Homo-oligomer: A and B are copies of this chain.
């Protein structure tokens, strides 16, 4: 079998099916009809002489061989995309569509500040933003569905490249009028784990808060998102650690939430930009990180 018998389009179809685990959705993503996509997948399977997918008309599964083939297909497609950037002479720069993800406890608060910076620095890029949790975002990043992620460091950097941007302190967010207001200054040791409210599992902020407070999670109240968490504080359920960026102007829920800095070495998290180590646009990402570092949002500390 000659390599010329393969089609990059078919590989894209196969990767789409592998990711969506659904022929119809994959077809939609590839902008073809489902029968066309089915036919091409079948042709590809014939060409390779193996079954890539197990179809049970109700669910689509990757065969074991299929998994290995899809992994390699992603490599082929990445190199082919790179060919296009080489041809454009824009290798190493950020142009065209650029998908940037951010963790949910950061994106909505950082993007309003960072987007103008990014737009100015990357006038030739179309930015596509998304949000998720660390684990999901890194999977999407590794699979090439997104190009870069803004998240809290450190992470498992296997196959990834990282640039630290700044240190974001945590503030104490407590119900207005809470007895903690009487203290002249607040340290982590003043917190009572029983009064702590957290995000649900999977959010890195949850784990960081637990570590900072030296507490364990058992039996603790939890919220599904940062805004829910804020409203739980407003409702008097307890207090929590709030990232500085999420505690800006007009975030007191009508005065029901109060924020306070910690004395001494404040808890917080390091925010960084992450991309695939294999991405040829590394210099562009490093430039971008530098710009973001030079224009940090108010309240951030340099790393």
Contact = CB atoms under 8 A, between A and B. Distances in A.
Interface of A: 1, 3-4, 6-9, 11-12, 30, 48-50, 65, 68-69, 71-73, 75-77, 79-84, 86-89
A87 B75 contact: no
Tell me which of A7, A81, A86, A87 has the highest count of chain B C-beta atoms within 10 A of its own C-beta.
Answer: A87
Tell me which of A65, A80, A82 has the highest count of chain B C-beta atoms within 10 A of its own C-beta.
Answer: A80
Contacts of A76: 76, 79-80, 83
Tell me which of A9, A75, A83, A89 has the highest count of chain B C-beta atoms within 10 A of its own C-beta.
Answer: A83
Given A6-B8, A8-B7, A65-B89, A1 B84 contact: yes
Tell me which of A7, A8, A30, A75 has the highest count of chain B C-beta atoms within 10 A of its own C-beta.
Answer: A8
Contact of A6 (B30, B69, B71, B83): B83
A69 B84 CA distance: 8
Contacts of A75: 79, 82-83
A48 B3 contact: no
Contact of A69 (B12, B48, B83): B83
